Amino acid sequence: GPRVRTDIVDVYVFRRVAGGLIEFLLLERASEPLKGAWQPVMGHVERGERAEETALREMREEVGLAREDAAVVGFWALEQTYPYFVPQIDCIVLSPRFAVEVASGWAPTLNAEHSGAKWARVNAAATLESADMNQFHWPGQKAAVGEILREFVRKK
């Protein structure tokens, strides 16, 4: 049967823009197994690395963002881990997830792992059922966005 992996970390970078909108950074994968998929910052845990360390390293490598950058407004661990299946590698993945709020004018500097970047807009006041969640491919991405909106955006 499929293997279970816990060595992949997701980082949801978001920013607040005018009109109560929240933008989430999505990156287009340049190579297999997920070539062409739009995802948050993602990466593999290296030997001896903690999940938070992986998240911070992947932010630097994939989009040029360091925790100490002036553009970073906040950095949080998300509580929920959502399992998903990747048929190309026959794995069930359980990813620790993190959220990073950046200043509204911040823009990513992509590395070679990505062929594009875009900002997916969500109305902060909308319920998840009424928000445009079609921009996110998988239920786990939608769940992470929902948790970020509930726990970090609407409580501020």
pLDDT at 64: 97
Which residues lie closer than 8 Å to 3 by C-beta, 6 or more apart?
90, 91, 92
Q: How confident is the model at residue 100 (pLDDT cuts 50, 70, 90)?
A: very high
pLDDT value at 131 more than 80: no
Query: From residue 39, how far is each of 12, 55, 69 by CA, in Å?
Result: 9, 14, 22
The mean pLDDT value for 122-149 works out to: 76
pLDDT at 132: 61
Indicate the pTM of the whole model.
Answer: 0.90
Q: How far apart are CA 82 and CA 141, in angstroms?
A: 8
pLDDT tens-place string over residues 74-95: 999 999 888 888 888 899 999 9
Helices (H), ranges, the chain: 51-63, 139-148
